[in-house]
Structure formats: structure tokens, C-alpha cells
């Protein structure tokens, strides 16, 4: 039986990969066995420490992730453990990007999203009011929420809560996406991870 997938989805530069690495660390994964699947190519597996993964896979430029990156996790919780695949995906864009590789990577993300048991939709809460920024909440976030709302196991992760603008951003996210569970987190400082863990646990 294939593992249930917990997919992290969201716009480019909102912190999806940083969250995936730090959440795996929070769930006591000491070494990350990451399966990389670039669009249209075969899967290859690499073993990285948290530090190596942070250095190699995260950064400040958008579209660092162009393909699927899966980490198998055995999550300790109430009465035992549950296994799942934490799936990091390529960032979504507001319009149609010029780069073919970005469009292919986004199509790959969307091909998987329908199969995922859990969708963690990440929004940059600190980008509130910066409509020009690539990571600012936009139409695509609203549409992801509409799609996610049709199924079980959908939650919004309001990331970058460590930044001062994020409190206002969180209020805005809650106002614009009513009826959805919005979990405030900081992928960088690992805050709010207990809530995410419980949400994931309940849907496995």
C-alpha cells in the first residue's frame, strides 16, 4: 500500500522547503532520505543531513524547487506512530510564467494534488499588503483554498509569523479564507508545529 501523502503547496518563496526540512526535524527525523522527482524524469533518492538540506535546497530566490521532493516520515504521536510521505512541491505563480521548466513543475504539482490525503497550503503572512511581491497572497491562493475546501485534510499554514507584519497578514488570511483552518507558523523558528502535527495526525 502506498503511503498517504501530505503535500505542501503554495506560491514561490513562501517557505515550503524550509518548512518541510524543519518539520521533518521536529518529527525526529535525524537524516533526510529525500526522493527527488523532476518533471518527466525518474525519481532519485539522496540522503542529506538537515544542515546540508537547508544549504542545498533553500534560498531566497524563488523557484528553488522545480519538481517533487518527498521525505518519508514515521510520526510519533498518540498511541504509536503513523507513516506518511511529506511532499514538497514547486512554487505556484500568479500568472503564466515564461519559463517552460516552471510551468512543467507546476503541472506536476497539480497532477499530485488531487491524490494527496493532506494539503498544507502555505501563505506568506508577512507579505500582507505587498501586492507586487512574488510571494504575496493572490488569486491563486484563493483558488487553492476553494479547491482544498472541497476535500478533507486541507489547512492553511500562515508562515513567517516571526516577522512584525505577519499579525496583520494572519488577520487578512482569516478574513479572506473564512471556513478554513488557518494555522500560524514560523517555518524558520519551528513555532506552531504542534498544531500542524496534530492536524496531519488526524488525517492519516
Partner 1 sequence: MSGGTFSVVILPFLRPWLACFFTGTAVKIMDDYLDTPVDRIIGRQTWAARLEEAALPYALLALSLAVIAEPIWAITLFWASYAMGMRGDMARLLPLGLRGWQEALVLGVISGLAFGWKVTISSWLAIFTVQAIDDLVDQQQDKMTGAGNWASRWGMVETGLATIIAILILSCLDIAKLVLVLMNSFLVLGVQRCWTRKEDGTRG
Partner 2 sequence: MTVEEVLDWLEEGRVSPAEAFVLFRAVEEKVELPNDSVKDNQEQLEDVLAELDALIGLKEVKQLVREIQAFVQIQKRRTEERLVTEPLVLHTIFRGNPGTGKTTVARILGRMFRHMEVLPRGHLIEVERADLVGEYIGHTAQKTREQIRKALGGILFIDEAYSLARGGEKDFGKEAIDALVKAMEDHKQEFILILAGYTEEMEFFLQSNPGLRSRFPLHIDFPDYNSEELLAIAELMLEKRQYRLTEGARRRLALLVQKGLRQEAYSFGNARTVRNWIELAIRRQAVRLVQKSGEMTRKDLLHIEAGDFGEGW
Q: Is 166 left (phi over 0), alpha (psi -120 to 50) or beta?
A: alpha
Piece of the chain touching partner 1 by CB under 8 A; list 9-17, 60-68, 107-115, 181-189: 181-189
**29 touching partner 2, by CB under 8 A:** no
CB nearer to partner 2: pick between 37 and 72 = 37
d(C-alpha 187, C-alpha 85), whole Å: 18
**78 touching partner 1, by CB under 8 A:** yes
Beta bridge partners of residue 47, listed in sequence order: 33
**91 touching partner 1, by CB under 8 A:** no
CB nearer to partner 1: pick between 1 and 96 = 1
**198 touching partner 1, by CB under 8 A:** yes
Computed on alpha carbons and rounded to an integer, the radius of gyration of the chain in Å comes to: 16
Nearest one of 151, 144, 150, 157 to 187, comparing CA atoms: 157
Strand ranges across the sheet with 118-124? 44-48, 32-37, 68-77, 80-88, 5-10, 118-124, 154-159, 182-184
Name which position in 18, 71, 123, 135 contacts partner 2 (CB under 8 A): 135
**79 touching partner 1, by CB under 8 A:** yes
**176 touching partner 2, by CB under 8 A:** no
Task: Give the single-character DSSP code of 38.
Answer: -
Contacts of 158 (CB under 8 A, 6+ apart): 123, 125, 166, 169, 170, 173, 182, 183, 184, 185
Q: For strand 68-77 and strand 182-184, is the pairing parallel, antiparallel, or unpaired?
A: unpaired
CB nearer to partner 1: pick between 105 and 118 = 118
CB nearer to partner 1: pick between 27 and 68 = 27
Name which position in 103, 104, 130, 203 contacts partner 1 (CB under 8 A): 203
Question: Considering CB distances under 5 to 8 angstroms, the limit depending on partner class, which of partner 1, partner 2, none binds residue 120?
Answer: none
d(C-alpha 91, C-alpha 68), whole Å: 11
Name which position in 80, 95, 132, 164 contacts partner 1 (CB under 8 A): 80
Q: Which residues bind partner 1 (CB under 8 A)?
A: 78-80, 82, 152-153, 155, 179-184, 194-195, 197-199, 202-203
Q: Which residues bind partner 2 (CB under 8 A)?
A: 13, 59-62, 92-98, 100, 103-104, 106-107, 110-111, 113-114, 127, 130, 132-135, 138-140, 142-144, 146-147, 150, 163
Amino acid at each position: 500500500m502506498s503511503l498517504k501523502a501530505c503535500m505542501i503547496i503554495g506560491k514561490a518563496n513562501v517557505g515550503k522547503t524550509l518548512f518541510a526540512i524543519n518539520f521533518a526535524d521536529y518529527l525526529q527525523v535525524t537524516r533526510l532520505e529525500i526522493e527527488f522527482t523532476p518533471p518527466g524524469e525518474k525519481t532519485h533518492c539522496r540522503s542529506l543531513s538537515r544542515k546540508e538540506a537547508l544549504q542545498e535546497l533553500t534560498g531566497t530566490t524563488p523557484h528553488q524547487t522545480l519538481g517533487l521532493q518527498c521525505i518519508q516520515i514515521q510520526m510519533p504521536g498518540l498511541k504509536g506512530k503513523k507513516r506518511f510521505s511529506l511532499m514538497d512541491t514547486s512554487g505556484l505563480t500568479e500568472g503564466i510564467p515564461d519559463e517552460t521548466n516552471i510551468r512543467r513543475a507546476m503541472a506536476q504539482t497539480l497532477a499530485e494534488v488531487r491524490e494527496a490525503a493532506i494539503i498544507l497550503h502555505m501563505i506568506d503572512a508577512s507579505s500582507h499588503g505587498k501586492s507586487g511581491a512574488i510571494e504575496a497572497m493572490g488569486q491563486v491562493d484563493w483558488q487553492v483554498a476553494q479547491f482544498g475546501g472541497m476535500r478533507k485534510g486541507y489547512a492553511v499554514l500562515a508562515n513567517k509569523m516571526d516577522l512584525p507584519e505577519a499579525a496583520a497578514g494572519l488577520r487578512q488570511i482569516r478574513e479572506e479564507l473564512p471556513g478554513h483552518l488557518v494555522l500560524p507558523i514560523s517555518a524558520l523558528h519551528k513555532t506552531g508545529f504542534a498544531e500542524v502535527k496534530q492536524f496531519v495526525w488526524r488525517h492519516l
